[in-house]
């Protein structure tokens, strides 16, 4: 199938590679042409705009930083996808996007005979999770493309449902991260070594996949994590905005949102999202540093660049 891909950064690039490996004819575009170099070496064709990608594709994927980039890439009257995509084709947006923006763009596309699936992702190809919303007929038709890059694929309902689901998972993951760090700080200030706490928590009621990455991302003082603080702050803020629009309680998320915004204000936006822990350390006047054994009972250590809770994916 002739497939386009707009946005071949940290997440988009491996997804695009999966499509090439599956035998599809790929046309690619990214604002940084160098981000497409490896794909072109594998047989993809370069296009100089999203519109040019769309003109040669039956389906166009997007993996972009956020809502404003999606609107521009699709709706720009001169170089946008919608200006070039033929009626009957489909746009598949893997961006972590605002449900409101996604629905609006989808409605405009549908008015021109083009379907749009909001299909944000979690994890890393080829075993990642896809959360899809939009027309079910389009989802069924293009599911084989999703299967080339994902191990878990869910159809959630009409336009915006995929975005809602992804924001819920981000809300849970990153709010949990902030809560876990606060718990360690409470224990440390009360007199228990955080390294010992980090051994107890995974075999107690406080266990979580998010917590399991803290020893290698925080206790050693390196704050290594997959996604940047800027990307996580964007996702969490979108989730809290969604909660307000839905008139749903989001007290814990609002606190976590504030922590990540403080990290941005301190100039750490391009650092790993684990720098949010440093914000909390500074607020509490304590550092969570401790030796931690490589292996301990009940504890499953994972690579902090690909954490099991907050997925650490960075798009664009």
| Chain segment 212-255, per-residue pLDDT in tens | 999 999 999 999 998 999 999 999 999 999 999 999 999 999 99
Q: How far is CA 9 from CA 16, 120, 134, 170, in A?
A: 10, 15, 24, 20
The backbone torsions φ and ψ at residue 258, rounded to the nearest 5 degrees and listed phi first, read -65, -40
pLDDT value for 311? 44
Integer Cα distance of 215 and 229 in angstroms: 18
Mean pLDDT (whole number) for 281-310: 66
Q: What is the 3-state secondary structure (H, E, C) of 21-84?
A: HCCCEEEEECCCHHHHHHHHHCCCEECCCHHHHHHCCCEEEECCCCHHHHHHHHHCCCCCHHHC
Q: Cα separation of 282 and 274, whole Å?
A: 14
Q: List, for residues 73-88, the tens digit of each pLDDT value.
A: 999 999 999 999 999 9
pLDDT in the model for residue 27 = 98
pLDDT of res. 295: 57
**pLDDT tens digit sequence for 83-118:** 999 999 999 999 999 999 999 999 999 999 999 999
Active-site residues, by number, are 166
Rounded Cα–Cα distance for residues 236 and 247 (Å): 16
Q: What sign has the CA pseudo-torsion 135, 85, 151, 123?
A: negative
pLDDT of residue 185: 98
Give the side-chain half-sphere CA count within 13 A for 20: 20
pLDDT tens per residue, range 186-223: 999 999 999 999 999 999 999 999 999 999 999 999 99
Task: Kindly indicate the confidence band of residue 294, based on its pLDDT and cuts at 50, 70 and 90.
Answer: low
**Average pLDDT value for residue range 144-165:** 98
Mean pLDDT (the chain) is: 93
Give pLDDT, residue 305. Answer: 41
The whole-angstrom separation of Cα 179 and Cα 183 is 6
Q: Give the mean model confidence (pLDDT) for residues 287-300.
A: 69
pLDDT for residue 299 is more than 90: no
pTM: 0.93
Give the per-residue pLDDT at 306.
Answer: 41
Q: What pLDDT sits at residue 291?
A: 86
pLDDT in the model for residue 191: 97
**Cα dihedral value 138, 124, 255, 292, nearest 10:** 160
Tell me if 141 sits within 8 A of 117, measured CB to CB: no
Q: What is the tens place of the pLDDT at every residue in 23-63?
A: 999 999 999 999 999 999 999 999 999 999 999 999 999 99
pLDDT at 302: 46
The domains found in the chain, sorted by start residue, are 2-157 (3.40.50.720), 165-284 (1.10.1040.10)
């Amino acid at each position: 199938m002739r497939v386009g891909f707009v946005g071949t950064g940290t997440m988009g690039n491996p997804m695009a590679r999966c499509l090439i490996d599956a035998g599809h004819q790929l046309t690619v575009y990214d604002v940084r042409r160098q981000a497409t170099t490896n794909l072109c070496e594998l047989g993809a064709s370069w296009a100089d705009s999203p519109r040019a990608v769309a003109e040669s594709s039956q389906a166009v994927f997007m993996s972009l930083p956020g809502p404003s980039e999606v609107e521009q890439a699709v709706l720009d009257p001169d170089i946008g996808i919608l200006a070039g995509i033929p009626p009957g084709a489909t746009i598949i947006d893997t961006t972590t996007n605002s449900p409101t923006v996604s629905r609006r763009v989808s409605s405009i596309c549908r008015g021109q005979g083009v379907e749009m699936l909001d299909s944000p992702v979690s994890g890393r190809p080829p075993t990642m999770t896809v959360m899809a919303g939009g027309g079910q007929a389009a989802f069924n038709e293009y599911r084989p493309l999703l299967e080339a890059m994902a191990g878990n694929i869910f159809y959630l309902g009409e336009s915006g449902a995929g975005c809602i689901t992804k924001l819920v998972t981000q809300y849970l993951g990153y709010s949990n991260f902030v809560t876990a760090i606060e718990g360690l700080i409470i224990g440390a200030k009360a007199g228990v070594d955080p390294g010992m706490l980090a051994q107890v928590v995974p075999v107690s009621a406080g266990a979580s996949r998010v917590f399991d990455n803290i020893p290698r991302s925080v206790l050693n003082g390196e704050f290594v994590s997959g996604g940047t603080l800027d990307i996580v702050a964007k996702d969490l803020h979108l989730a809290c905005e969604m909660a307000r629009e839905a008139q749903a309680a989001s007290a814990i998320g609002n606190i976590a949102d504030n922590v990540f915004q403080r990290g941005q204000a301190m100039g750490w936006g391009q650092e790993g999202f684990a720098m949010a822990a440093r914000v909390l350390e500074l607020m509490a006047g304590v550092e969570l540093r401790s030796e931690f054994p490589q292996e301990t009972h009940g504890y499953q250590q994972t690579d902090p660049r690909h954490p099991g809770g907050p997925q650490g994916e960075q798009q664009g």
